[in-house]
Chain A
């Protein structure tokens, strides 16, 4: 007989249940609808929310992806457009250096 990981850690998860927000759903299927004591199968679902993923890492990663989507318009694959890019930025830099005090 062994102790599984979820049963070994159950006391700690119960102590911090306000952070982990455990979700328990039990569904039992019986053979006859008139007699619910003789069960065919029982389905148990247990899950804990992953608070660091959902509240901290998740929004940061989503924001980074949104910014990168917008920056993706520069990546066209045509060399001529890249050279035009370099040309425009050098002109703008020279104008900036000339006009700064």
Chain B
């Protein structure tokens, strides 16, 4: 394991570079997925760097804030952004080292995602508009059903590799030779559905919709503008990248660099970029194939993922 108990300056610098790469790559992934959706719909679509331009444009604009809000509405974009950044410190993407490393594990990551979602829901209610209430009640239903499925899928991985610490799991997966067992396949299937639900993709939620019939996440962030909206969009992109990198590094880990040598790290980064783009193309293609599901059919899909995670855990002990 390349994890040393006393971290040297170069290790911390590499961890920090990994963190900056996460923040810089995240909007690019969103842009690539939008471009693929446009191409499969026979449109030209905007360029893959459009998300960067959108965020920069939003940073320059003033905010329009309703009169009925309290401190929750003004604080929550910052809370959401900062908790997502803390998660970015915990999840390694191309070298098995995270700067906070032994300070927390996968349960803390899920808790931080839950914290950001909680404040997003509070801010949606704080504006006292009907759209906020719609978004919050639908998001409450979906996210409270997602949590057990997410825990089951991740606990299967944790029990297989002997720890809940993200770094230790990834150092074990990087040294394994094949995708081993039936339990990991069930867990992969369940976790894939959960990734699509948490990041708000079709069939769970349409991120590009203008109709309140199909809004879940969009309705909660409808009242944000200017810098707050830029922060929330960036947090959403970073969360998407982090969840996809969890999927890649837990289940398809070959190419992950386990030492700090420059050549291995560059190979690890290139392999990670390739896997990330492929997974993004796959998710964008699935989004184009299906339509958004009726709201009360979504729990059926989440229960399918829960059952798959449960089968994964059962197959560990048979």
Contacts and interface: CB of A to CB of B under 8 A. Distances in A.
A binds B: yes
Contact of A7 (B128, B133, B145, B296): B133
Given A1-B128, A3-B125, A15-B145, A8 B296 contact: no
B145 A3 contact: no
Nearest to A2: B128
A8 B136 contact: yes
B144 interface: yes
Contacts of A14: 296
B129 interface: yes
B129 A1 contact: yes
B189 to A, nearest CB: 22
A1 B134 CA distance: 12
Size category, B interface:
10 to 19
Given A14-B296, A15-B145, A15-B299, A9 B128 contact: no
Given A11-B295, A15-B299, A3 B140 contact: no
Please indicate which of the listed interface residues A7, A9, A15 has the most CB atoms of chain B within 10 Å of its own CB: A15
B138 interface: yes
A2 B129 CA distance: 7
Q: Please report whether the interface of chain B is mostly helix, strand, loop or mixed according to DSSP.
A: helix
Interface in A1-59: 1-3, 7-12, 14-15
B137 A11 contact: yes
Interface residues of A, number: 11
A48 to B, nearest CB: 16
Given A9-B137, A10-B137, A1 B296 contact: no
A9 B138 CA distance: 9
Contacts of B136: 3, 8
B141 interface: yes
Nearest to A14: B296
A8 B128 CA distance: 13
B266 to A, nearest CB: 48
Interface in B264-318: 295-296, 299
B130 interface: yes
A8 B138 CA distance: 8
Question: In the complex, which of the residues A2, A7, A8 has the most CB atoms of chain B within 10 Å of its own CB atom?
Answer: A8
Contact of A15 (B129, B132, B141): B141
B214 to A, nearest CB: 15
A15 B141 CA distance: 8
A3 B137 contact: yes
Nearest to A15: B299
A48 B105 CA distance: 39
A1 B130 contact: yes
Contact of B141 (A1, A7, A12): A12
Interface of B: 125, 128-130, 132-133, 136-138, 140-141, 144-145, 295-296, 299
Interface of A: 1-3, 7-12, 14-15
- Give 8 nearest A-B pairs by CB, closest first: A3-B133, A11-B141, A8-B137, A15-B299, A12-B141, A1-B130, A11-B137, A2-B128
